[in-house]
């Protein structure tokens, strides 16, 4: 693909987001072409707001945002079809009584034949190791299983971009690795991952450092994590 034809996953030009007279994001400019991107930075620096903006869940007060070539503020329906968002609290995303029903529910607005929805649901359950739990009540699942289910519900729609905001925050090391493996595994989907787990950030293709509402560095994860660690000891 030629450089001119390339549609970067995320592009922002001079973007600011204000809450109650405070600029939570300030004059953010970026162009993020990599398949997987980690977003790191201190508590309250603006990472979730950045992710919400990209997922069409927050609005910019000024500037231009493009996600997969779409304007999230104006092309919301098209964005919803192509982008899935997963948060650290899976309870907020699980709505149906059983595991299989919950995954299938994610396909409710897809115009697909019933057989194709069943095929996709079964394939997603298999991919996330949830087949044996298909008929289990969702409220009986462990935290790690719920997080896998939330991710499964995102992936069953076959999104072009998955935005995951601290998806491993409450998980033990084994489940965190499982979720990370499923999320970052090679595939056609792109990933924007907000995380405080710097080892996980280093598994991405590129990283973004946000500090006090501004992107202060973008590049290979090793260098960005080092810059962040230096910032933390200052
Ligand atoms: N809806 C809102 N109304 C008012 N202030 C908000 C709102 N959402 C976020 N903020 C503020 O914006 C700032 C950035 O919040 P954000 O959640 O984006 O940070 P973060 O980097 O994701 O933090 P953390 O690592 O602690 O999750 C914080 O000061 C927060 O209090």
Report pLDDT digits (tens) over 138-160: 999 998 899 999 999 999 999 99
The predicted model gives 190-208 an average pLDDT of 96
Report pLDDT digits (tens) over 54-90: 999 999 999 999 999 999 999 999 999 999 999 888 8
- Cα 117 to the center of its chain, rounded Å: 23
- Reply yes or no on whether the pLDDT at 6 is more than 60: no
For a substitution probing ligand 1, which of 46, 211, 214, 215 has the most ligand atoms within 8 Å of its CB? 46
CATH architecture of 3-233: 3-Layer(aba) Sandwich (3.40)
Domains of the chain, residue spans: 3-233
The predicted model gives 98-126 an average pLDDT of 93
Closest residue by CA, ligand 1 atom 4: 19
Measured distance CA(9)–CA(184) in Å, rounded: 15
ipTM of this predicted structure: 0.96
19 Cβ below 6 A of ligand 1: yes
Q: pTM of the full predicted structure?
A: 0.91
At 54 the three-state DSSP class reads helix
**pLDDT tier, 186 (very low <50, low <70, confident <90, very high otherwise):** confident
């Amino acid at each position: 693909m030629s450089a001119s034809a390339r549609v970067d996953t995320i592009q922002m030009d001079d973007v600011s987001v204000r809450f109650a007279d405070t600029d939570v994001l300030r004059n953010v400019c970026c162009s993020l072409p990599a398949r997987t991107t980690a977003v790191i930075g201190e508590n309250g620096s603006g990472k979730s707001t950045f992710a919400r903006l990209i997922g069409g869940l927050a609005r910019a007060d000024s500037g231009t945002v493009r996600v997969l070539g779409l304007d999230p503020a104006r092309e919301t329906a098209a964005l919803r079809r192509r982008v899935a968002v997963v948060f650290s609290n899976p309870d907020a995303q699980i709505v149906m009584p059983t595991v299989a029903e919950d995954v299938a529910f994610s396909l409710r607005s897809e115009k697909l034949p019933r057989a194709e929805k069943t095929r996709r649901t079964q394939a997603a359950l298999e991919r996330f190791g949830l087949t044996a739990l298909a008929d289990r009540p969702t409220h009986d699942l462990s935290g790690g299983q719920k997080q896998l289910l939330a991710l499964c519900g995102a992936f069953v729609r076959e999104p072009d971009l998955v935005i995951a905001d601290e998806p491993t925050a409450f998980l033990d090391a084994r489940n965190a690795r499982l979720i990370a493996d499923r999320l970052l595994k090679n595939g056609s989907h792109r990933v924007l991952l907000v995380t405080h787990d710097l080892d996980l950030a280093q598994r991405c293709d590129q990283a973004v450092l946000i500090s006090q509402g501004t992107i202060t560095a973008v590049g290979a994860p090793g260098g960005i994590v080092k810059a962040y660690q230096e910032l933390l000891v200052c």
